[in-house]
Chain A
Amino acid sequence: MAECIIETRGVTRSYGEICALKPLDLQVRDGEWLAVMGHSGSGKSTLLNLLGGLDRPDGGSLVVGGVDLATLGEDGLARFRRERVGIIFQQHHLIPHLSAVENVMMAQYFHSVPDEAEAKVALQRVGLGHRLRNRPGELSGGEQQRVCIARAIINSPRILLADEPTGNLDHASTVVVLELLSELRAEERFTIVMVTHNQEVASRGERTIFLDDGILVREELSGR
C-alpha cells in the first residue's frame, strides 16, 4: 500500500451562509488517479481549490504531500502551489498573445527560471512538437488543453489537479487528452485528482468519490 499523499480530516469550507464543504475525511494514495464527481454546487471545485492551496479551509486538517497547508503562510502557500501541484482548468487560461512554448515557459518562470529546450520537450511529449510557435488562437480545443497539460507538468508536480479538463472537448479530443494523462502519469508517477461530470471520464481513474452538498456520499473503485 503506497503512502498517502493527500489526507484531509474534518475539512470544512463555507462561503458566508453557504457551507460548500462539510467535515470531509479523505485519503489519496501517492500515484493514485482519483475522480471526483457530483453535480453543480456539490463542493467538487471547492475541494480542488483547497487541495491546490488556492483556498484555505475553515477548519480541519489538510496535509498534502506531507505538508500541512494550515501551517503555511501566504509565501509558503505560494511556494507549495509553484512546486508541488499542477493544475488544469476547463477554461485553458492560456495567454493569448504568447506562443505555445512561451505559455509553458511562463509556468517555468513563475516556478524558477525559464528553459526553452525543456519547454519544447514537454510540448513534444504531449504531441505538439509541430505547434511550438502557434498561439492559443491558432490551436484546436484539444491542442490547447494539451498545452495546458504540458504547462501543468513542466514543473514536475507530485499532484495534478484537473477541474473538468475535458469539459469543453469533443469525444475524440477527450480520448486523446485522457490517454495522454494516462501515459504521463505512468512515466512521471504523479497523483491525479480530477473533477468531472462525465462518468466515462471518471472511469479512467482508479477510484471515484461522489460529493453531494459538500458531503462525501459514496466512493467506487474503478475496474481499471
Chain B
Amino acid sequence: MIAILKVITPLLCWGGMMLSLARGIGSGPTLLAGGCGALFLTGSLLPLLVPSPLLVVAFKGVTAAAFAILWLASIGGIHGAGGEARVGHAAGPLAGRGGAFLASLLAGAGVGCILVPAGGVAQPMALMAAAVAGVSLAVAGAFAGRFLPRWFAPSGTGLWALILALLLCIASSSPRLDLFSPLTMRVMKFIHDFVHQFFESMLLPDHPFIRPRVWEYIGILFSSGVGFWGGVVLFFAPVGFIATAIRLTPLPSVAHIRRGAERRLLMASYIRQRRHQQAAPILAAAVLSLAIYQSRFPSVDYWDPAPVKVTADAAGKILIPEKGEPEIGDGRMHKFVYSHGGTEARFFVLAKEDGEYAVTLDACSICKPEGYGQGESALICYYCKTLIPLDTVGKPGGCNPVPLPFRREKGGVAIDAPLLLRSWDETVQATAGGGGERR
C-alpha cells in the first residue's frame, strides 16, 4: 500500500500524458486507450521479467535520447521559424501513434521501476495494482480528452515537449530514475571543460594576468550553482525554443481578402490559433518545474547521523571502536568529524553486507562536499543526487566517496589523522572548481 503511494505523482503524470495525447493525436479514443493502455501495462510489468538495474538504465537512456531529439527538433524549429507561413503543425498519424505508444511503454516502465526497491525484487501485487490503475487512467484519459477546451490541441514539438516533460516528471519521482541531477553533473563538467578550452583556443590569458574582480566573474562559471542552473537552462531551453518558434512563425498572408474586417478576423483567428499553440510549451514548462523540484527535494528519508567528534592520539592515530556508541558494525553509515588546525574533516564508516568495513571521506572528488545520506541499498550524494550502491562504497571513482586507508586493530578501525586531513584538503581543494569549500 505504501509502495503505491510512491507512484501517485507518476500516475497523475501518466493521466496528463493520456489527456494530452487524446487532444494532440488524430487517433480515435478506442485505439489510443487500447494501444497506450496495453503498452503501459507491458511497461509496468517489465520489472517481473527484466532485472531492475537494466530497466532503469534503459528507461533513462531512452528518455534522455528522446529529450535530446526534442532539443534538436526545437533548434530546428527556431531556425525554420522565419520560413514558410503556417499555423499549427501536426505530426503525421503514424509518427504520432508511434510516439504515443513509446511514451506509454516508458511511462509504464518508469512506474514499474519506482515500485521495485533498490537492490530488491519486484512485488507482483504492487506492480499489478499500478498496471490496473495505469490502464484505467489510459481509458479515462483517452475518452476524457474530448471534454477539454477545444483550443487545447497540442501539436508538433509542443505536444512532444509536454509528453516528455511529464515523462521526466515521472522519472524525477525516484532518485534512481531521475535525469535532472545527473544532467547537472554533466553540465558542470562540460562548462568547466568548455571554458578551459575556450581560453586555450582564443589564447586568453590565465589568472596571473587578469584582474581579481574579473576573475571572480569568470569563477561564477565554475561555481556550485552553475551545474544546477545550467541543468535548468538545458531542461527549459527546448520548451523556450518551441514557444519562440511558434511566436516567430509568420502568419499566412491575408492580403487576398478585400474586406478589412474579414481580413482582420482571419488574421485574429491565426493569431489566436498561434497563441493556443503556446499552451503546450507553457504547460510543459510548469511540469518541468515540478520535475526539477522533485529532483532537488526527493521525498525519501535518508539515514544521516550527526557526525561524532573524534580525536587522534600522539602518534596521529584515530581509533574508532567497533562496540560502543555508535556501533559501527550495524550496516548503517556512521559519520565522524576530526578537527585540527582549523580544518574539519568529515568521514564515515560503513559495515557492508560481506562484513568488510568501508572508511571514506564524507565527500567525493567531483562535487561540493555536501556529504552523503543512506537510503535502502544505496548512498545518495546530497549535492548531485547520484546514488552509490552500497557494495561499491569504498571503491574510488566518479561520485563515490573518497576512500581512506585504514587498519582493523584492537577491536576497532584505525585511521591516520594527518592522512585524513591531507586527503580532505586535497579533495575539497580539487572540488573548489565545483564549488567545494573548506569547512
A and B touch in the complex (CB under 8 A): yes
Cβ of A154 and Cβ of B271 under 8 Å apart?
Answer: no
Q: Is A111 in contact with chain B by the CB < 8 A criterion?
A: yes
- Minimum Cβ distance to chain B for residue A154 (Å): 7
CB B273 to nearest CB in A, in angstroms, measures: 13
Contacts of B259 in A (CB 8 A): 156
Nearest-CB residue, chain B, relative to A107: B261
Chain A residues with CB below 8 A from B260, complex form: 115, 118, 154, 156
Q: Which chain B residues lie closer than 8 Å to A154 at the CB level?
A: 260-261
Q: How long is the Cα–Cα vector from A155 to B263 in the complex, in angstroms? A: 10
Q: How many residues of A contact B (CB 8 A)?
A: 10
A83 and B260 CA atoms in complex are apart in Å by: 12
Give the shortest distance, in Å, between B175 (CB) and chain A (any CB).
47
Chain A residues 103-145 with CB under 8 Å of chain B are 108, 111-113, 115, 118
B195 within 8 A of A: no
B438 on interface, CB distance cutoff 8 Å? no
**Number of B residues, CB within 8 Å of A:** 9
Complex interface: chain A residues within 8 A of B271 (CB): 113
For B268, what are the chain A residues with a Cβ–Cβ distance below 8 Å? 111-113
CB–CB B265/A108 < 8 A: no
Q: Is B264 on the interface with A (CB-CB < 8 A)? A: yes
Q: Residue B327 at the A interface, CB < 8 A?
A: no
Q: What are the residues of chain B within 8 A of A112 when measuring CB–CB? A: 261, 264-265, 267-268
Minimum CB–CB distance for A26 against chain B, Å: 26
What 0/1 pattern do residues 150 to 179 of B give for CB contact below 8 A with A? 000000000000000000000000000000
Q: Are A83 and B264 in contact (CB under 8 A)?
A: no
Is B267 touching A113 in the complex (CB atoms < 8 A)?
yes
Are A156 and B267 within 8 A (Cβ)? no
Chain B residues positioned under 8 Å from A113 (CB to CB): 264, 267-268, 271
Tell me the minimal C-beta distance from B329 to chain A in angstroms.
73
A154 to B259, CA, bound (A): 10
Within 8 A of A (CB), among B255-299: 259-262, 264-265, 267-268, 271
Binding site for A on B (CB under 8 A): 259-262, 264-265, 267-268, 271
Q: Which residue numbers of A lie inside 8 Å of B, CB to CB?
A: 83, 108, 111-113, 115, 118, 154-156
